[in-house]
């Protein structure tokens, strides 16, 4: 296919620029809604490449949209660039050695994700210019995927309403597609308020907010037996009310993250968790407030786009790895547990598992993942997939078995292994986007599948109207 060869050449010609951009973002790991430097780097890159950039879209300071072209079809490429707390790590090491103690780190590879998507958008733009292809390509700079759900705000604001198809990717340890369902989620902070008192002299005058948090957690733990099997509830106590046991804690808080396969199930489960909080407050004579943290809709698969993208994933092929890559991957794997290593085989057919067991870095592409499979995680790409047909690919950026949200991911995220996977993803996305733009029938088929999968449901945001 002419366009695929051209795309590969375009990306290879600028690969040093793309790698340098990814590494610059890796160097400044920023948390959700604080990605000021990272977004500035990407905006600068888009403007240098001739994109018109609109900043601060959907009321988010670090969001932006870079556009090139006019008219239909409109193709969106989604980029992310937020980091995670507590995962600071020096690059290229197989031992835990933070750059900054308890600092941030790109433990999910979003420095690669945002830059790989950027590279794809640039390649599509250049192909359009060279071949007179009509349409619009947009790069969506999406903050706060890990916490805060930037794409949910952007979808609520209608930024995808005129988009025909959307593409993204994610760094992984095995190539493939994200043609699966994910869990919808809702996160909220429960802030209890009581009354302080001397814990020995006048304990009867106190009302412990910490007791309320503990009782709420106990109640939710009993709830786990009585919720749908796919649901998940996680929590973190973020304020224990102080360090002195001799003072009744007047303030305490806990953050909950609730997941289920459908949005209405998440809403129902949240109400039950909220009732438990009410009960805990009643039992302790305290009060509480609820603060919205984030939400994401469940991801809607699309087999039409998956078939097109998978063909390009196979045609682009896997990168080649040298001896240095292989040795470093072996060192990283030596830091992982047996459970970590086995996680790479979960849910795969036996033939694929046999082949993977021989690998240190995955240089094979397994068969299609079932569209009916449910991934137990969540992504705010789900909100986009409710309003526009959406597909994501996965490429090898880490040693086989490396779990996400770990220092090992951070260490590998600015190495040749990761760079090669990022460039592979850019080629796959750009080639897929161009085939769709040149064949409008694919777009119509993908839209028809989305309507069929939604089965009469329409998109609504789980973000409270009062939250901006």
pLDDT digits (tens, 9 = 90+) for 287-343: 999 999 999 999 999 999 999 999 999 999 999 999 999 999 999 999 999 988 888
461, part of any domain: no
Is 345 exposed, middle or buried, given 0-12, 13-18 or 19+ CB atoms closer than 10 A?
A: middle
Structure pTM?
Answer: 0.93
Residues 53 and 151 reside in one and the same domain: yes
CA pseudo-torsion sign 235, 239, 245, 251: negative
**Residue 287: CB partners within 8 Å, gap ≥ 6?**
192, 193, 194, 281
End position of a domain, from candidates 271, 295, 319 = 295
What pLDDT does 130 receive? 94
What's the number of CA atoms in the CB half-sphere (13 Å) around residue 66? 28
DSSP assignment letter at 146: T
pLDDT digits (tens, 9 = 90+) for 139-168: 999 999 998 899 999 999 999 999 999 999
What pLDDT does 1 receive? 57
Residues 189 and 165 reside in one and the same domain: no
- Could you give the CA distance from residue 175 to residue 95 in angstroms, rounded to a whole number? 26
Given a cut of 90, whether residue 345 has pLDDT beyond it is no
Average pLDDT score over the chain: 95
Residues 31 and 127 reside in one and the same domain: yes
460, part of any domain: no
Contact 166, 117 (CB under 8 A): no
What pLDDT does 349 receive? 80
- First-to-last C-alpha distance (Å) of the chain: 45
Q: How does residue 122 score in pLDDT terms, banded at 50, 70 and 90?
A: very high
116, part of any domain: yes
462, part of any domain: no
Residues 134 and 221 reside in one and the same domain: no
pLDDT digits (tens, 9 = 90+) for 396-421: 999 999 999 999 999 999 999 999 99
What pLDDT does 344 receive? 83
145, part of any domain: yes
Given a cut of 60, whether residue 350 has pLDDT beyond it is yes
Phi, psi for 334 (deg, rounded to 5): -70, -15
**Residue 78: CB partners within 8 Å, gap ≥ 6?**
117, 140, 142, 151, 166, 167, 168, 381, 384
| Other Cβ atoms within 10 Å of 448 Cβ, number | 12
Mean pLDDT across the stretch 81-92? Answer: 97
C-alpha 438: how far from its chain's center? 29
Q: How many domains does the chain have?
A: 2
Given a cut of 90, whether residue 368 has pLDDT beyond it is no
DSSP assignment letter at 208: -
Phi, psi for 147 (deg, rounded to 5): -140, 135
CATH number of domain containing 128: 3.40.630.10
Give the lowest-confidence range in 93-97, 371-375, 418-422, 442-446: 371-375
End position of a domain, from candidates 275, 295, 315 = 295
The range of the structural domain enclosing residue 271 comes to 184-295
463, part of any domain: no
Mean pLDDT across the stretch 86-93? Answer: 97
Q: Is 280 helix (H, G, I), strand (E, B) or coil?
A: helix
pLDDT digits (tens, 9 = 90+) for 421-447: 999 999 999 999 999 999 999 999 999
Residues 340 and 392 reside in one and the same domain: yes
Residues 79 and 225 reside in one and the same domain: no
Residues 425 and 360 reside in one and the same domain: yes
End position of a domain, from candidates 239, 268, 295 = 295
- Could you give the CA distance from residue 212 to residue 460 in angstroms, rounded to a whole number? 33
Residues 128 and 252 reside in one and the same domain: no
Residues 209 and 344 reside in one and the same domain: no
Residues 347 and 448 reside in one and the same domain: yes
Residues 137 and 79 reside in one and the same domain: yes
Contact 172, 398 (CB under 8 A): yes
119, part of any domain: yes
162, part of any domain: yes
Mean pLDDT across the stretch 62-66? Answer: 98
What pLDDT does 2 receive? 61
Residues 271 and 312 reside in one and the same domain: no
CATH number of domain containing 243: 3.30.70.360
Contact 126, 9 (CB under 8 A): no
Given a cut of 70, whether residue 78 has pLDDT beyond it is yes
Given a cut of 80, whether residue 9 has pLDDT beyond it is yes
């Amino acid at each position: 296919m002419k366009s695929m060869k051209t795309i590969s050449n375009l990306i290879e010609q600028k690969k040093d620029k793309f790698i340098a951009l990814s590494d610059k973002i890796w160097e400044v790991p920023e948390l959700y809604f604080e990605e000021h430097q990272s977004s500035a780097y990407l905006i600068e890159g888009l403007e240098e490449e001739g994109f018109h950039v609109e900043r601060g879209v959907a009321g988010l300071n670090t969001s932006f949209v870079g556009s090139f072209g006019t008219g239909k079809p409109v193709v969106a490429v989604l980029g992310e660039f937020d980091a995670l707390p507590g995962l600071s790590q020096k690059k290229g090491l197989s031992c835990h050695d933070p750059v900054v103690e308890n600092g941030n780190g790109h433990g999910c590879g979003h420095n690669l994700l945002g830059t790989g998507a950027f590279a794809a958008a640039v390649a599509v733009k250049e192909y359009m210019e060279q071949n007179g292809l009509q349409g619009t390509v947009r790069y969506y700079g999406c903050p706060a995927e890990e916490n805060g759900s930037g794409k949910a705000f952007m979808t609520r604001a209608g930024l995808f309403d005129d988009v025909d198809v959307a593409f993204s990717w994610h760094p992984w340890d095995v190539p493939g597609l994200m043609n699966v369902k994910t869990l919808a989620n809702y996160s909220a902070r429960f802030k209890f308020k009581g009354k302080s008192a001397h814990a020995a002299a006048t304990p009867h005058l106190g009302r412990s907010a910490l007791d309320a948090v503990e009782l709420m957690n106990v109640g939710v733990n009993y709830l786990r037996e009585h919720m749908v099997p796919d649901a998940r509830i996680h929590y973190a106590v973020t304020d224990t009310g102080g360090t002195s046991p001799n003072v009744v804690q007047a303030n305490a808080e806990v953050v909950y993250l609730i997941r289920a396969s459908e949005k209405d199930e998440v809403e129902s489960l949240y109400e039950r968790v909220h009732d438990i909080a009410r009960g805990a407050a009643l039992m302790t004579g305290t009060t509480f407030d609820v603060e919205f943290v984030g939400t994401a809709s469940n991801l809607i698969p699309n087999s039409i786009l998956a078939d097109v993208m998978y063909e390009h994933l196979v045609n682009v092929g896997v990168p080649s790895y040298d001896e240095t890559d292989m040795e470093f991957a072996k060192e990283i794997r030596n830091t992982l547990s047996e459970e970590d290593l086995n996680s790479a085989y979960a849910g795969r057919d036996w033939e694929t598992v046999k082949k993977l067991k021989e690998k240190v870095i995955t240089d094979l592409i397994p068969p299609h993942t079932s569209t009916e499979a449910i991934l137990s995680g969540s992504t705010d790409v789900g909100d986009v997939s409710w309003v526009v047909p959406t597909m994501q690919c996965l490429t090898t950026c880490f040693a086989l078995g490396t779990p996400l949200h770990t220092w090992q991911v951070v260490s590998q995220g600015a190495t040749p292994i990761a760079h090669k996977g990022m460039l592979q993803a850019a080629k796959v996305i750009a080639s897929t986007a161009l085939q769709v733009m040149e064949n409008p029938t694919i777009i119509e088929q993908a839209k028809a599948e989305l309507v069929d999968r939604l089965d009469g449901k329409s998109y609504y945001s789980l973000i409270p109207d009062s939250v901006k």
